[in-house]
Structure 1
Amino acid sequence: MWSSLITPTFLFLRFFSVELAPNPGSATDENDSYPPFWYQINGDIAEFPVQNNKTIIDPWKYIDRLKMYKILIEKSNRYFAGFGKNKTDNVLWALTLYYGQLYETDRFSEPPNSSVCAYDAGAPGCVSINSGWGGINFYVIVLYFLAAIESEFLKDLPYQVELVSREEYRSDFCYSIAECRVSYQQAMDLANRFYQYLLSREITSVIGDVPHYNLDEDTVVLYMWEAHQAGIDIGTSKFSDV
């Protein structure tokens, strides 16, 4: 049931990503379709706090997951310059927009007390560790982000990244490249394949100082989708009962 709900939503966002995601450099509009608080972050790893020479990311904070999405989009945008106006046809937009919709519709709130981790337009909130949607999304963004580090798509990071774990349901989640690779090697391999494909592309032309890569849209969408689906499959196997 979960996949049957997620798949059409993904396809809708994929085909209409240009209309839903206007130029990130344009004036802000609180009624636009960006995820909540998108304009309050820069997509820079330096936005996260540093402790003991480690970049600390808390995946149970809505804003921290959003920063991970934005970092991946900012780092990959150049590969999609030939796909759409203002670089809005990055295939990762579908996942990012969907993440924002999950938050706005309180899918990340605490069951049965839905006021905990509920959507708040005034300040970014949390993602409940008891939310089935939050658990499934964890395996989408965390695997994508850790694979980006492992594949060196995100390279020259100033510090090692450390994800803040929760003692609750500790065995249901992986919080490092080593942990995720031991438990979910195939999913990590699929996410790595997506980044390795991007890194293998060559510049074929430069239009208005913007490089265009020899990216095959069908291939990159397939690689993104299969990595996404692998994360969904892990999450649904663990959290479909909630």
Structure 2
Amino acid sequence: MWSSLVIPTFLFLSFSSVGLAPDPGSTIHENDNYPPFWDQIDGDIAEFPVQNNKIIVDPWKYMDRLRIFKILITESNKYFASFGKNDTGNVFWALALLYGRLFKSDRFSEPPNSSRCAYESGVSSCISINSGWGGISYYVVIMYFLAAIESEFLGNLPYEVELLSREEYRSNFCYSVEECRAAYPQAMDINNRFYKYLQSRKIVSTTSGIPQYDTDEDTAIFKMWAAHQAALDVAKPKFSDVRFIINNLEEAHDFKICSGCGTFLH
């Protein structure tokens, strides 16, 4: 179904050596320190359109998945304020960077490296349902997103979220909390535990007016990685022709979050 590809080992650099990314500017889509078009979104769920009292998200559009990443980072940043500035201390940051790199290197095109869904089409670009990279990325970001909704990590949303599905390969994807919960309860539970941990954190001090939470770095990374791995475990059997290289990541202690991995895909 999908052409062969390789998922690189990325989350491997030292969390403690995270560098400070520059402030994004108007040409951020040309800056490897941020995902393409990062400066064109606010990280607010209100950016998504509302139709028939539902928040409409199209997970097969690059910008909609990017918005999800920025929403998750924006909502969770307060728990990681002591770990880095400009989003770099957030455990989601490396995944957002990888997502942008996949897009920029045309891993989401159909077929790979064709003009359809290619980076050159810009901010309106799609993600091909025939892209193995797109399929794997779907489960990673969507499970994080749906678990954030289910655990009420995003608060009480004014409307129900509706993910627009594609009829092609419909059975290979779940498009709602209910569908993913019914099909993959264990993976959803693992994702929920990550958010429940963050929600249990307490303010212990204030620095320059910014609350500092008692987030334990290793615990947050461990739970985030468990959720990430659970999503991969769901996705891998669906993309049987996809080759994976995920080395030295069996133990959560063996990896660290990477903020500046601008070169992990070429």
Tell me, yes or no, whether TM beats 0.5: yes
Equivalent in the alignment of 1:198? 198
Equivalent in the alignment of 1:147? 147
Structure having the larger proportion of residues in helix = 1
Equivalent in the alignment of 1:181? 181
Aligned partners of 1:43 and 1:71 also within 8 Å = yes
The higher-RCO structure (CA 8 Å, 6+ apart) is 2
Equivalent in the alignment of 1:221? 221
TM-score (norm 1): 0.91
Once the two structures are superposed, residues 14-44 of structure 1 have per-residue CA deviations (whole angstroms, 9 ceiling, x without a partner) of 676534x4345x6754334210110000111
Aligned partners of 2:53 and 2:160 also within 8 Å = yes
Is 1:40 the counterpart of 2:40? The answer is: yes
Equivalent in the alignment of 1:99? 99
Q: Distance in 1 between matches of 2:59 and 2:160?
A: 16
Q: Distance in 1 between matches of 2:14 and 2:134?
A: 19
SS of the residue 1:127 aligns to: coil
Equivalent in the alignment of 1:10? 11
Q: Distance in 2 between matches of 1:133 and 1:157?
A: 30
Output the amino acid matched with 1:9.
F
Q: How many residues align?
A: 238
Structure-2 change in CA distance of 1:34 and 1:16 (3 Å): farther
How far is 1:230 from its partner? 1.1
The share of aligned pairs that are identical, in percent, is: 62
Structure 1: runs of 5 or more not aligned = none
How far is 1:85 from its partner? 3.3
Structure-2 change in CA distance of 1:135 and 1:237 (3 Å): same
Structure 2: runs of 5 or more not aligned = 243-266
Q: Distance in 2 between matches of 1:190 and 1:79?
A: 19
Aligned partners of 2:73 and 2:87 also within 8 Å = no
Q: Distance in 2 between matches of 1:241 and 1:69?
A: 27
Is 1:49 the counterpart of 2:49? The answer is: yes
Structure-2 change in CA distance of 1:100 and 1:155 (3 Å): same
How far is 1:122 from its partner? 3.8
How far is 1:129 from its partner? 0.3
Equivalent in the alignment of 2:71? 71
Equivalent in the alignment of 1:22? 22
Q: Which runs of 4+ in 1 moved over 6 A?
A: none
Q: Distance in 2 between matches of 1:233 and 1:31?
A: 32
Q: Distance in 2 between matches of 1:206 and 1:68?
A: 28
Aligned partners of 1:73 and 1:90 also within 8 Å = yes
Structure-2 change in CA distance of 1:14 and 1:56 (3 Å): farther
Aligned partners of 1:13 and 1:97 also within 8 Å = no
Equivalent in the alignment of 1:230? 230
> How does 1:76-155 map onto structure 2 within 5 Å?
76-111=76-111, 114-120=114-120, 122-155=122-155
RMSD: 2.2
Q: Distance in 2 between matches of 1:167 and 1:198?
A: 36
TM-score (norm 2): 0.83
Q: Distance in 1 between matches of 2:13 and 2:114?
A: 27
